[in-house]
Amino acid sequence: MRLFTTTAGLRCYLERDCSGKDIGLVPTMGALHRGHLSLIERSRRENAITIVSIFVNPLQFGPTEDFGCYPRPLEADRQLCEQIGVDAIFAPTASDLYGNCLPTGAMSDQLTHVVPPTAMTSVLCGSSRKGHFQGVATVVTKLLNLVQPKRAYFGQKDAQQLAIVKRMVADLNMPVEIVGCPIIREESGLALSSRNQYLTPLQKDQASVLYRALQQAQKAFEAGECDCTVLIEVVKSELAAVNDIQVEYIELVHPTRLTPLEKIDDGGLLAIAARVGSTRLIDNVLLQHRKPIVAIDGPAGVGKSTVTRQVAKALGLMHLDTGAMYRAVTWQAMQTGIDLEDESAIAELVSQSQISLTTNEEGDAAPRVWVDGEDITQAIRALEVTANVSAIAAQKSVRFELVKQQQRWGSKGGIVAEGRDIGTHVFPDAELKIFLTASAQERARRRQKDLKDQNLPNVSLEQLERDIQERDRRDSTRAIAPLRKAEDAIEIITDGLSAAQVTERIINLYHQQVTAAHF
């Protein structure tokens, strides 16, 4: 593992050792705990290189805040990073990062600041921490510009920070994916934070009431309560059970726009800030009527499409046929006569077109596919589309745009999606992840039967098996969306099983693992 304390050292490392590799950045202020480690682990799973930045950013502390005594255990942090397989730490000094514009308070009139939208900074922590989110946005922009990561990881505990960074990256067209990761808690429910170190054992115990109070509100919400005033009252009455908690705010806001809500329609972020002694703590829960997502991945020729369709039908969820979306783009590109290798023209096309999928009335057939209002369900199955679709699906910008669209659909849940990277990349938080597989012999036999059923020329089993092995090798080693089993996916080997038997197994798993936990 490398440790860089200057931007010059970091730059050189990026040029010499990281060129062409996907970088994941985990920005931190050090004093690393299990919450940070979960971000690092996620980055390691998703990127070739993981860089952790450790920098206590003076710009985001107010003059009366804890900048001076914020913990800085650099050697312990270095050891943790080394143990967990971080590739490099970037721990610059303030003068290295800010030059001679070194700010001393929450603002400096010698420095360009990034100013997030006031609507997002005037609520929650922003109302008492003036300038804090400008400080965060500024340092995060500098770190992203320096490291140029493919992905950057932030905890959901700082939900306002996460929403602001996501908005900033979208508004300023910064070429990075911001990945939000779940809150990690102690057994008592207390959300992990570097500031928990300031708490005595008794205060830690008292602080656990914050999450209990939020959980009570979550229960009320799940029982049908959507009114802001009532939900906040539920939190207050639970907090009242513990002395010595000084609440700064309890607010219910829109989860991404952060605008105050009177009642929850799609979803809400219920957030709290309170002092236990002199330590300021924050916590939150997302209140969302989100239905579960089922991700089904696996190699080609394993029967994923049939099974996915049947599972979606049986569970009353939408079949998000991602393959159909790639076919739709291919069809559209062919219609407009674009050169299929002209990636930039195709990128323009895909970002302008409106693909939509609607459930077929019969439910057991593939969903209907529409582009700009035209039903192209049949057209995308044409042989010419089949011949060109893999080349189009391999284009980076096409994948980027379609994954964004798929995630938008997934934001309300209630879908079953199949592919190669659904559980690892598109919906890493899916409630149920299945990895379907079968031996190459079994898949070759099935393929041969398909050829026969469609009156197509016979191909020997040996040849089919070789083709399948070669395809698996290509799919699992390609740079974009490689085929990989997610660590938390359940593998089903389908040799000797019919599609109906596989479907039944998945439905049973759904009832055992998802229905029980979710509703």
Is 34 annotated in a binding site? The answer is yes
Query: For residues 27 and 255, which CB has a smaller minimum distance to ligand PAF in the complex?
Result: 27
Q: For residues 332 and 353, what is the distance between their CA atoms, to the nearest angstrom?
A: 9
Shortest CB 143 distance to ligand PAF, Å: 8
Q: In sequence order, what DSSP letters do the residues of 486-513 get, joined into one string? A: -TTPEEEE-TT--HHHHHHHHHHHIIII
Is 124 annotated in a binding site? The answer is no
Query: For residues 124 and 481, which CB has a smaller minimum distance to ligand PAF in the complex?
Result: 124
Contact (CB, 8 A) for 166 and 186? no
Contact (CB, 8 A) for 514 and 431? yes
**CB within 8 A of 28, min separation 6: which ones?**
36, 52, 53, 54
Phi, psi for 269 (deg, rounded to 5): -110, 115
Shortest CB 57 distance to ligand PAF, Å: 4
Is 363 annotated in a binding site? The answer is no
Query: For residues 56 and 350, which CB has a smaller minimum distance to ligand PAF in the complex?
Result: 56
With binding defined as CB under 6 A, does residue 273 bind ligand PAF? no
Is 158 annotated in a binding site? The answer is yes
Q: For residues 174 and 168, what is the distance between their CA atoms, to the nearest angstrom?
A: 8
Written as one letter, the residue type at 23 is I
Structure tokens at 406: 């798929």
Please state the separation of Cα 400 from the chain's center in Å.
13
Binding residues among 17-46 for ligand PAF as defined by CB under 6 A:
27-29
Binding residues among 149-178 for ligand PAF as defined by CB under 6 A:
158, 161
With binding defined as CB under 6 A, does residue 140 bind ligand PAF? yes
The β-bridge partners of 284 are 271
Shortest CB 33 distance to ligand PAF, Å: 11
Please state the separation of Cα 197 from the chain's center in Å.
29
Binding residues among 318-357 for ligand PAF as defined by CB under 6 A:
none
Please state the separation of Cα 143 from the chain's center in Å.
20
With binding defined as CB under 6 A, does residue 136 bind ligand PAF? yes
Is 290 annotated in a binding site? The answer is no
Q: For residues 445 and 298, what is the distance between their CA atoms, to the nearest angstrom?
A: 17
With binding defined as CB under 6 A, does residue 121 bind ligand PAF? no
Give the strand order in the sheet containing 490-493: 318-320, 415-419, 293-297, 432-437, 490-493
Query: For residues 57 and 308, which CB has a smaller minimum distance to ligand PAF in the complex?
Result: 57
Out of 81, 88, 106, 139, the residue judged to bind ligand PAF by CB under 6 A: 139
Is 106 annotated in a binding site? The answer is no
Is 512 annotated in a binding site? The answer is no
Q: For residues 167 and 133, what is the distance between their CA atoms, to the nearest angstrom?
A: 12
With binding defined as CB under 6 A, does residue 193 bind ligand PAF? no
**CB within 8 A of 362, min separation 6: which ones?**
none
Query: For residues 139 and 333, which CB has a smaller minimum distance to ligand PAF in the complex?
Result: 139
Q: For residues 28 and 70, what is the distance between their CA atoms, to the nearest angstrom?
A: 13
Shortest CB 273 distance to ligand PAF, Å: 15
Whether 36 is catalytic is: yes
Q: In sequence order, what DSSP letters do the residues of 229-268 get, joined into one string? A: HHHHHHHHHHHTTSTTEEEEEEEEE-TTT--B-SB-SSEE
Is 192 annotated in a binding site? The answer is yes
Query: For residues 32 and 402, which CB has a smaller minimum distance to ligand PAF in the complex?
Result: 32
Is 29 annotated in a binding site? The answer is yes
**CB within 8 A of 404, min separation 6: which ones?**
none
Stretch that binds ligand PAF, among 4-12, 84-92, 134-142, 367-375 (CB under 6 A): 134-142
Q: For residues 419 and 301, what is the distance between their CA atoms, to the nearest angstrom?
A: 12
Binding residues among 49-68 for ligand PAF as defined by CB under 6 A:
57, 60
Shortest CB 181 distance to ligand PAF, Å: 12
Closest residue by Cα to residue 148 from 253, 23, 258, 238: 23
Q: Which chain residues interact with ligand PAF by CB under 6 A?
A: 27-29, 57, 60, 136, 139-140, 158, 161
Q: Report the binding-site residues for ATP.
A: 29-36, 155-158, 184, 192-195
Positions marked catalytic = 36
Q: Report the binding-site residues.
A: 29-36, 60, 155-158, 161, 184, 192-195
Q: Report the binding-site residues for (R)-pantoate.
A: 60, 161
